[in-house]
A and B are shown apart, each in its own frame.
Chain A
Amino acid sequence: MKIKQKIVLSYLVISLLWVIAGGIGIITTEQVNRNFEQIANQTIPVKNELDILENSINDIVRCTLEYVLLKENSILEPANLSDNVIDNRTDQLAQINRGMIKESREIDKSKHVYLKSIRNYQSLVKSYFPDENNYVEAIQNTSHEVIEKSRQFILASQQQKSRSLIYEQQQEFDRIRKKFDAAIQLATNHEHDELTTRQAKMHSTLQYAVESILGVSLANIILAIILGTLVSFSISKPLQKLQVAAQAIGQGHLGIRANLSTKDELGALARAFDKMAADLQQYIHDLQQEQESRSLLAMALENVGDAIEITDAVGHYIYVNPAFERITGYSQSDVLGQTPAALLRNEQQSTGFYQDMAATVARKNIWHGFYVSKHKDGTLYDQELTLSPIVNEQDQVTHVVAVKRDITDRKRSEVALQKSEERLRLVLQGSNDGFWDWDVATNEVFYSSRWKAMRGFSNDEISSKLQECVDRIHPEDVNLFQQALQAHMERRTDTFSVEYRSRCQDGSYIWILDRGQACWDSAGNCMRMVGSETDITRLKTIEATLREAERRWLNLLDNVQLVVVGIDLVGRVEYVNAFFLELSGYRREEVIGKNWFENFLPQQQQRQTQQYFLDIQAQNLDTYSQNQILTKSGEEKMIAWNNTFLKTPQGEIIGMMSIGADITERQAIERMKDEFISVVSHELRTPLASIQGALSLLMSGLLDLQPDKVNRIIEIASESVDHLVIIISDILELEKLNSDQMRLSKQLCNAAQLMPKVENLIQVNASRVGITVAVTPREIFFAADPDRILQVLTNLLSNAIKFSEPGSTVWLTVELQNAGEDVVFEVKDRGRGIPVDNLDRIFQRFQQVEASDSRQKGGTGLGLAICRSIVEQHGGRIWVESILGKGSSFFFSLPTQIAEDRDQKT
């Protein structure tokens, strides 16, 4: 459908709707007007009649009241009348009678009107309001009643003399009249209601008409809007598409189309537009391609590394590119209008050369060659030149295009390459390396003469096959070689490098360090490998020697009973030997890499030892030192170190290697030795001091006159000599026992025989100090040196007696223990006892419970040490149990060995 048709159709539809709406309005208005007129026509007569009716009744009432009033005025009270009054009264009465007659006539006249009116009214109401008779009857009844009452009222006034009675009649009359008024009011109301109802109906009808008109109008408007929208949409949408397409094309999106399929004028316009756009797109595309092509050509000319110049038919420059300027030194403005011959000609070049060049071009042939040109600054440079004539349709040379390349660098590179090759050849000769070049595709290998000579072959004894190399590799090294080769060919390694043994002509092997580099094509295939070989046999021999030496050295370090620790400059442990691990209790991985000073030295020595390390490092001193180390269990070990710095061949210190001996035990022994010497020295020197002091005093003669003092001094000296003798004897005996010089003469002993013997030996001493010795012998056999056991028992009993109060008892008993395997002797006293912390110490040499015991009780402090030595030599044990203040019990056990010894005895 055409656009015009669409618009016309829309107007027609809208107009039709407006006509319908107008018709409805007119019809409805007409109907309402008619109803209004009808109501008006019906209502006015009824109302008129009702007014007449009311007026007539009102007239009757008024006339009645006037009549009654006149009648009332005519009544004269006799008691109050004078003569004058009676005279006047007659006139008045005449006047009143006339009035009364007039009123009476008025009443009749009104009654007549009334009767006529009531009839009209009834007929009107009946015709217009057939359903509403009640109030008509009420009007009729009340009006009749009014008239009747008027009659009665007049009659009563005529008969009654009393004003009060007349007054009562008047009141009754007023009441009836009000009733009539109410009936009239009712009728009026009914009419009014009826009219209101009918008017409401009419209003409703009118409102319906108005609403209908409005509804139709609204529908008309909406429809008009919809239709308008649809029409405008159907027109604007294609236009919009066209506009969008046009804008897109304007912005360069040439592929955009309107794509309208409608048959109307816009569709035709869009199709034309699309075709135009397609044509435009194709045109622009072609144009762009041409521009790109030109631009590319221009860029190529501008950026090409070769100088390009174009000259016209007479040889003048018309174009030169930037490379021309760079190569020749001339700018475009310099050359335009000039000729190449004028600017670039090198006078050293022969004239024939230029003539040949010009003749070739003139023959429309391309000239190509090398020559030396002249730069703007006058320098000469090598140049490769191509001259191409451009020939027109008339076969005439119109232009010449010259392409020039500065080949100075190339020339220089060729010279450099020659030098480099010469250098490489010299290097290979100088390094004594073999050289090989493998063409992977043909599997041909070039082996240099040195390569062959290294294996003992002359030049013609080795073919160009890869197998010449591979077959000579030691069987143990073949895999290694092939893996290295494969890895490099697959580009997994940057260079090919492998060490292997290669068999020589005489069957011996040499060590080869083979290094090479592959070349790959664009597909990643290895095309070629080139490399060199170094004879490293001597290095390998040295390396093996060094490795063996290192192995031996490490073996030595690991087996030596010395601590060996290597640390770096910051104190990190780099090496520890097995002995250190054994001594410290650490595992190797717990030590390596840890800080030596912080982890393996007692805290109080860390800073001092580290500072010492820094000091000797600063002074570059190898030193001896001693410090404690801390074992894993927290034990401290004293180590005597020999520290040596590790240095690079250039003398730079890189760490320290310390070898140390564990002197913990040695130090303890030294300390014990010192203490022993000190004690022995004291024990020996003290009596000696007394002796020497006494003797020297005697010898001085200063006491010659004091015999008492002399005697006392001699006595002291004598006691000291005795004490010294005992000490020396005990020391010698103890030394003898400890050095195994004294052989035990073991035999089967019976305790029952030994114990009485010892009792006899000490009985004298005991009796002297009032001590009872209670011995309880038992027949127990054991293997021992009886003299030595007697010595032990005597010593223990002597001590017991020595430390017991007079009158007390000491006991000697014996028993078997440990299932008869041990015989145990006990010497018990009730002496002063021994403090607990002295119980072990008293068996050591020169150890007594009280230092003064040696003086007060005699003895040297060696007795118990001798006892322990004797018992231990018998394989037994000696110990003491004591309660301070209550006494002590000394025990010693000896193995019985009864069966064996009894057998021997038997």
Chain B
Amino acid sequence: MKPKKILIIEDEDGLREIIQLTLETVAGWEVVAVTSGSEGLAQAKANRPDAILLDVMMPNMDGIETFQRLQSTAETQDIPTIFLTAKARSAEHQQFVNLGILGVITKPIKALDLVQQIRKILKWSE
């Protein structure tokens, strides 16, 4: 079976590396990682990933704007997207859900939990 392809958009270099390694090692997914929203948009259009893991607080184009652009682009609007954020308050999560995001994962998170939560949100089997 062809492995799932996931796009990671995260500006923090170390964290991005850890997540990429986690998803590749633990879940066996094919991972593409970029550092900014604009790069993420281009990659999403070019590679059509099965899901996007998107950081919220990023310079220039933050996660919210990136998500809205993904939604307004025909090629990317159907790609399931999950926010990975340090914002932990429920009001903030509700705000994200109102935007139409599929799911929210709060930092920090253990490697195995991260994979498990992604699967749960995306309803992917192991």
Contacts and interface: CB of A to CB of B under 8 A. Distances in A.
B110 A696 contact: yes
B17 A697 contact: no
Contacts of A693: 15, 18-19, 22, 108-111, 114
Contacts of A712: 17
B53 to A, nearest CB: 12
A690 B12 contact: yes
B19 A686 contact: no
A706 to B, nearest CB: 8
Contacts of B114: 693
Contacts of A851: 11, 58-60
A530 B122 CA distance: 98
B14 A692 contact: no
Contacts of A677: 89
Contacts of B22: 693, 697
A703 B112 CA distance: 13
A179 to B, nearest CB: 152
A672 B18 CA distance: 32
Nearest to A851: B59
A687 B15 CA distance: 7
B31 to A, nearest CB: 14
B59 A690 contact: no
B110 A681 contact: no
Interface in A690-740: 690-694, 696-697, 700, 702-703, 709, 712-713, 716-717, 719-720
A682 B13 CA distance: 15
A682 B87 contact: yes
A692 B109 contact: yes
A719 B14 contact: yes
A110 B66 CA distance: 174
Contacts of A689: 12, 15, 18, 86, 107-109
Interface of A is mostly: helix
A792 to B, nearest CB: 27
A720 B21 contact: no
B26 A702 contact: yes
B92 interface: yes
Contacts of A852: 11, 59
A684 B12 CA distance: 12
Nearest to A715: B14
A202 interface: no
Contact of B18 (A681, A685, A694): A694
Contacts of B87: 678, 681-682
Contacts of A709: 21
A688 interface: yes
A694 to B, nearest CB: 5
A681 B109 contact: no
A666 interface: no
A492 interface: no
B57 interface: yes
A703 B22 CA distance: 10
Interface string A462-501: 0000000000000000000000000000000000000000
A148 interface: no
Interface residues of A, number: 31
Interface in A830-875: 850-852, 855
Given A697-B21, A855-B12, A688 B26 contact: no
Nearest to B85: A682
B57 A682 contact: yes
Contacts of B72: none
A696 B17 contact: no
Contacts of B89: 677
B73 interface: no
Interface in B58-96: 58-60, 85-89, 92
Contacts of A682: 57, 85-87
Contacts of A713: 17-18, 21
Q: Give the interface size bracket for B toward A.
A: 20 to 34
Given A686-B107, A690-B12, A850 B59 contact: yes
B14 A690 contact: yes
Interface in B103-126: 106-114
A690 B17 CA distance: 9
A700 B113 CA distance: 11
B25 interface: yes
Contacts of A681: 86-88
A744 B123 CA distance: 59
Given A678-B92, A720-B14, A855-B12, A691 B26 contact: no
Nearest to A716: B14
B26 A690 contact: no
Nearest to A682: B86
Interface string B5-31: 000000111110111011001100000
Contact of A697 (B57, B92, B106, B111): B111
Interface in A569-620: none
Contact of A700 (B19, B26, B92, B106): B26
Given A685-B107, A700-B26, A855 B59 contact: no
Contacts of B85: 682
Contacts of A703: 21, 25
Nearest to B57: A682
A693 B13 CA distance: 13
B35 to A, nearest CB: 8
B18 A690 contact: yes
A716 B19 CA distance: 12
Interface in B25-48: 25-26
B15 A690 contact: yes
B92 A686 contact: no
Interface string A76-112: 0000000000000000000000000000000000000
Q: Which of B106, B108, B112 has the most CB of A within 10 A?
A: B108
A712 B109 CA distance: 19
B82 to A, nearest CB: 15
A697 B25 contact: yes
B112 A716 contact: no
A852 B16 CA distance: 14
Contacts of A691: 108
A830 B107 CA distance: 38
A678 B15 CA distance: 18
Contact of B107 (A688, A694, A850): A688
Contact of B86 (A685, A850, A855): A685
A702 B15 CA distance: 18
Contact of B111 (A684, A686, A700): A700
A693 B113 CA distance: 10
A685 B14 contact: no
Contacts of B19: 693
B25 A716 contact: no
A861 to B, nearest CB: 12
A677 B15 CA distance: 21
Given A686-B15, A690-B108, A719-B14, 7 more contacts: A681-B88, A685-B86, A689-B15, A696-B110, A697-B26, A700-B111, A716-B17
19 contacts: A681-B87, A681-B88, A685-B88, A685-B106, A689-B107, A690-B108, A692-B108, A693-B22, A693-B109, A693-B111, A696-B110, A696-B111, A697-B21, A700-B26, A700-B112, A712-B17, A713-B18, A855-B11, A855-B13
**A-B residue pairs, 7 tightest by C-beta:** A851-B59, A685-B86, A689-B108, A696-B110, A689-B107, A693-B18, A716-B14
